[in-house]
Chain A
Amino acid sequence: MSKFFSSPVLVFVAAIALRVVLFFYGLWQDGNSPMKYTDIDYYVFTDAARFTANGGSPYDRETYRYTPLLAWMLWPTTWSSTWFSFGKVLFAVGDIVAGWLIFLVLQDSNKMSTEQALKFASIWLLNPMVATISTRGSSEGLLGVMVIALLWAILQKQIYVAGFLLGFGVHFKIYPFIYAPSIIWWLDDERLGLRKASSSKTDLISLATNFCNGARIKITLASLLTFMLLNTVMYSVYGWDFLQHTYLHHVTRIDHRHNFSPYNTLLYLNSSAPGTSIIQLESIAFLPQLFLAAFALPLMLAKKDLPSTMLAQTFAFVSFNKVCTSQYFLWYMVFLPFYLPNSSLLARKYVGLTAALLWVATQALWLQQGFQLEFLGKSTFVPGLFLAGTLFFLTNAWILGIVVSDIGAGRTQFHVE
């Protein structure tokens, strides 16, 4: 086994083989069964690509709520029925590239041995859930490669590349904006190797001018410019539809078809009888979410361990979100290889096992209640789904607390050899 993990070739061949097998299995299942392997969203993307290829707008396809870039990227899927699967290949390649970058970061920045780095990168590379999601044609894997590339670029001090990727990522899926505060906070003079003697001055103006170092200004401008440029181009081509479906929809949606979010039952309740609620909790739900994900976590943790902080931020963002589905779990899973090596979840086996068990069990409970509702027609909204969603949320919050403490304790405490 150790021989396997000491060879990058073997691990990557295995990761590629896993995806190739799943890819062809998917083609076979789609061709022979009325139950499709291909994700429903993949039909949305490819339909949108077809509309675009025929000179139309991707938003002519109902429920297309992404940037037109995705439809453009999938243009080859419109060429022929063989090319139809191009997107899945693209997403799977994205997976592999993300895995490769994880491996690089673990080796270079975390100073890990090849074997160690490959072992932890395999959490992503050889993860059947990750491989299945991308070969089914879900675009979440593409996001994985984007944020890992962002992390890699920033650790390499490739400020402009990082700025571009940050702007691009936010344009693509909004949520990567939470990485902006942690990256900017992390880019301090100490990190950049610019120790200035100015630290003696403590008045606000010199603190502010000291804070605005070159790298911080560069990445802010580069990301803002990329973001605005992409939006301007898309708006000029597709107009209001682009803003409505890519951004505003996510703000105004009252999407309370049951999902893992702790707010789910509340959204159903309050949307059906507007004005009867006492505290209108759902309208301030973004406060705890953004306070943690975009302010408190970056401020306290980013300077200690940027990759793990990005995990904590994403984990907080997804757990405290008003809508939460299992595809979102991929958003934070991609950062696990950076956090787990120094995690007390691995060092203290019982804590780790309990956390994993609770994470799976509360989800299983939710899925069982969801099945009862969706297919058996039982009214499991309360207490079943509500309780299961709440327990899953509390489990996530508990784990998040452990992650925070681990990052806060630094790397020396728990080191797995």
Chain B
Amino acid sequence: MRQRITYLQEPQDSVDPKALKVTENSISTPKLKAAREERITFAFDELPQELYSVLKTCRELHIRWISQNHYGSVAPLVSTLTPGLHVFYTPHLNKPDSNLLCPMLKKVFGAVDCLSPVESFTSLPSNKSSPSAATQYYQALDTLHDFIEYGKHKICAGSEKECLDRISNILLASSVDIDFDTTSLALTMTAFWPLHTQDINLKKTASSGRLEVGVLSIEPSKQPEELSLGGFLTVVGEDTKPSPTLFSFPSRHHPSKSTFSASFLSPSGLHPTLELKISSNKPPTEDRSCSLYCHFTLPRAVFADRYQFLDSLFLASKNLSTLHYITTPVDLEAPVYTVSLWGTSVLLELAPPLGAEQSWTAQIPLHLRYLLPTANTSGQSPLAVPYPVVLWACDAHEEINFSINPFDRVNLGYDGLLGSKTIFYHLSPEGNRLTNVISVPVLDLDKSKYVELSTAGVVLLAFSWVMWCLWCVLRRNGYGSGNYRIKEGKKKQ
């Protein structure tokens, strides 16, 4: 096992190295205002047997969980996804899709309703220039409570207080990544906690493996695509004092000064329109070509109709540019309870208005499926639609080796779609909860008791009436042509 714990500070909060107390097996300091990233790498033999047997069937597995509570991000950890649980999965080369994956996800994360990769996952386009996982799954998940319980039982075998405390702390994390691929033969778990004041008191124990602790803050960098970090690094148990450091690296993900918010126009009905309010129409940098994108991860109850995004007049009227990607196929008619695929992801290019800097809006038309009928809700069901990710994607011109960035993050869904020579500038969302809840009209079971009986009665009544009319015809004129009668009638005239 290897552990890397990094505290990221605002420059004005930078730690005084004298306050960092390093002993032969610990590091501590009181009241440090910092965001925190913890990265733990497990070797295969350190994993529970059941996890190991699932991983054996995968070529790549990337799990991303993002909290729906928004606390702000800190460079260089600015990349994000739609809140919820994302799974990016590539089956092992010579093996069929894993039938162990979904049961395992359920066991580890709790309420996950995936059936199997074939039934519930959607495929992602393969892109040679930026390899990404082959399939995708998503599910809204508010809390990692089940994950923490699983970790307590399976990872902290010896019920060490240190281990239990650290795992419990994940409840406050704003994102958790779990990465595995066959080339590294190791499982990495990375968790991120937003900026807050905390006492550091980290001990190296027998089971904790190599423990590296950094306290860093962002420094001005020379190149626009680079980030510089300065501060102190300590390998606990090896170093006797923190060693000062200053290093730069190219970064895929950068913060943007703009912000956005997302809300549904009211009334939302069965065809809700999501409105994005964006604080600026100006790209983050003038010397690269940049486009503004919105990346949606939509649960199956709500979807975008790709055929709606073809007409340029329609797109322009909503400040949209082009539909860059949408999961296919999307059933445009089925009710939610007959769909087993998780939902759809959509990458939409927006069209910021030209001219002077201004705040502006874009509207994205969406559609709802029929949801299950309900009782005791007056025919309304709440539906949570998570925030999209909004970002500027700028052309990096040349191949930049982003992987030397110790905080590099890939397999986010949109990065594979936009190519590896792209620099992302993330707009930070406004608001505390990154989810909109809309009310969806459904059949009210309290009023539907007699629907079947009345339908049967009405059809029977209508059928009998027509049959009665036919019977009268038969009695009076028979089933023949009745020509005889006409001739007779004419004679009389």
A interface residues, Cβ below 8 angstroms from B: 31-34, 36, 40, 43-44, 47, 62-63, 188, 190-191, 253-257, 262-263, 265-266, 268-273, 277-279, 281, 285, 288, 291-292, 296-297, 299-301, 303-304, 316, 319-320, 373-383, 386, 390, 393-394, 396-398, 400-402, 404-405, 407-412
Whether the pair A394, B462 counts as a contact (CB closer than 8 A) is: yes
Known: A383-B447, A394-B458. A303 touches B472 (CB 8 A): no
Consensus secondary structure, chain A interface: helix
Asked if B444 is an interface residue, CB under 8 A from chain A, the answer is yes
Given known A265-B455, A381-B443, A382-B447, contact A36–B311 (CB-CB < 8 A):
yes
B161 close to chain A: CB less than 8 A: no
Of B43-51, B353-361, B476-484, the one touching chain A? B476-484
Per-residue 0/1 for B465-488: is the Cβ within 8 Å of any A Cβ (1 yes, 0 no)? 111111011101101111101100
Q: Report A-chain residues with C-beta under 8 Å of the C-beta of B378.
A: 379
Q: Which residues from chain A contact B454 at a C-beta distance below 8 Å?
A: 386, 390
Kindly list chain A residues whose C-beta atoms are within 8 Å of the C-beta of B271.
374-375
A404 with B333: CB separation less than 8 A: no
Shortest distance from the beta carbon of A405 to any chain B beta carbon, whole Å: 5
Closest B residue by C-beta to A185: B479
Known: A62-B332, A281-B455. A410 touches B474 (CB 8 A): no
Stretch of B17-25, B177-185, B187-195, B262-270 with 4 or more beta carbons under 8 angstroms from chain A? B262-270
Chain B residues in 8 Å Cβ range of A405: 469, 472-473
Structural contact, A412 and B313, CB atoms closer than 8 A: no
Q: In the complex, which residue of chain B has the Cβ closest to the Cβ of A375?
A: B269
Find chain A residues with CB under 8 A from B447 CB.
382-383
Q: Is B130 an interface residue (CB 8 A)?
A: no
Q: Which residue of B lies closest to A304 (CB)?
A: B482
C-alpha gap A255/B316 in the complex (Å): 32
Q: State how many angstroms separate the Cβ of B470 from the closest Cβ of chain A.
A: 5
- Apart from the given pairs A255-B333, A269-B373, A382-B447, 20 other A-B contacts in the complex at a CB distance below 8 Å: A32-B313, A62-B330, A63-B332, A188-B481, A256-B370, A266-B452, A269-B448, A272-B443, A279-B456, A281-B459, A299-B479, A301-B473, A304-B480, A379-B379, A381-B441, A382-B444, A386-B451, A405-B473, A410-B482, A410-B486
Residues of chain A contacted by B466 (CB below 8 angstroms): 292, 296, 316, 397, 400-401, 404
- Residues of B whose CB lies within 8 Å of any CB of A are 267-271, 307, 310-311, 313-314, 316-318, 329-335, 337-338, 370, 372-373, 378-380, 438-444, 447-448, 451-452, 454-456, 458-459, 461-463, 465-470, 472-474, 476-477, 479-483, 485-486, 489-490
**Known contacts A376-B267, A377-B269; A408 and B452 CB within 8 A of each other:** no
In the bound complex, do residue B380 and residue A379 qualify as a contact, i.e. CB atoms below 8 Å apart?
Answer: yes
Smallest distance from the beta carbon of B307 to chain A beta carbons, Å? 6
- Which of A266, A300, A316, A383: most chain B Cβ within 10 A? A300
Compute how far the CA of A31 lies from the CA of B379 in the bound complex, rounded to whole angstroms.
40
In the bound complex, how far is the Cα of B268 from the Cα of A23, in angstroms? 33
Residues of B within 8 A of A297 (CB): 470
Chain A residues whose CB sits within 8 angstroms of the CB of B268 once the complex forms:
377
- Closest chain-A Cβ to B372's Cβ sits at a distance in Å of 5
A47 vs B380: C-alpha distance in the bound complex, in angstroms? 37
User: Provided the pairs A262-B459, A300-B470 are in contact, do residues A381 and B379 lie with their beta carbons within 8 angstroms?
Assistant: yes
Q: Which of B329, B373, B379, B439 has the most CB of A within 10 A?
A: B373
| Residues on the B chain within 8 Å of A402, using CB | 469
**Given A269-B443, A376-B267, A401-B466, residue A382 in contact with residue B451 (CB < 8 A):** yes
CA distance A155 to B241 in the complex (A): 104
Contact check, A303 vs B479: say whether CB atoms are below 8 A apart. yes
For this complex, 16 residue pairs linking A to B, each with C-beta atoms less than 8 Å apart, are A44-B307, A62-B331, A254-B334, A254-B335, A301-B473, A303-B482, A373-B269, A374-B271, A376-B267, A377-B268, A379-B441, A386-B454, A390-B455, A397-B461, A408-B470, A410-B486
Min Cβ gap B383→A in Å is 11
Task: Establish whether residues A300 and B479, one from each chain, have CB atoms under 8 Å apart when the complex forms.
Answer: yes
Beta-carbon contact of B462 and A303 below 8 Å: no
Q: Are B444 and A381 in contact (CB under 8 A)?
A: yes
How close is A50's CB to chain B, nearest CB, in angstroms?
12
Residue from B270, B271, B372, B462 whose CB has the most chain A CB atoms within 10 Å: B462
**CB within 8 A of B338: which of A271, A408, A411?**
A271
Closest chain-B Cβ to A143's Cβ sits at a distance in Å of 22
Minimum-distance CB pairs A-B, first 8: A379-B379, A408-B473, A397-B462, A379-B441, A34-B317, A303-B481, A404-B469, A34-B314
Contact A296 B267 (CB under 8 A): no
> Cβ of A277: which chain B residues have Cβ within 8 Å of it?
452
On whether A270 and B479 interact (CB within 8 A), knowing A394-B461, A397-B465, A400-B466, the answer reads no
With CB as the reference atom, state the residue of chain A lying closest to B312: A34
* Residues on A with beta carbons closer than 8 Å to the beta carbon of B455: 262-263, 265-266, 281, 390
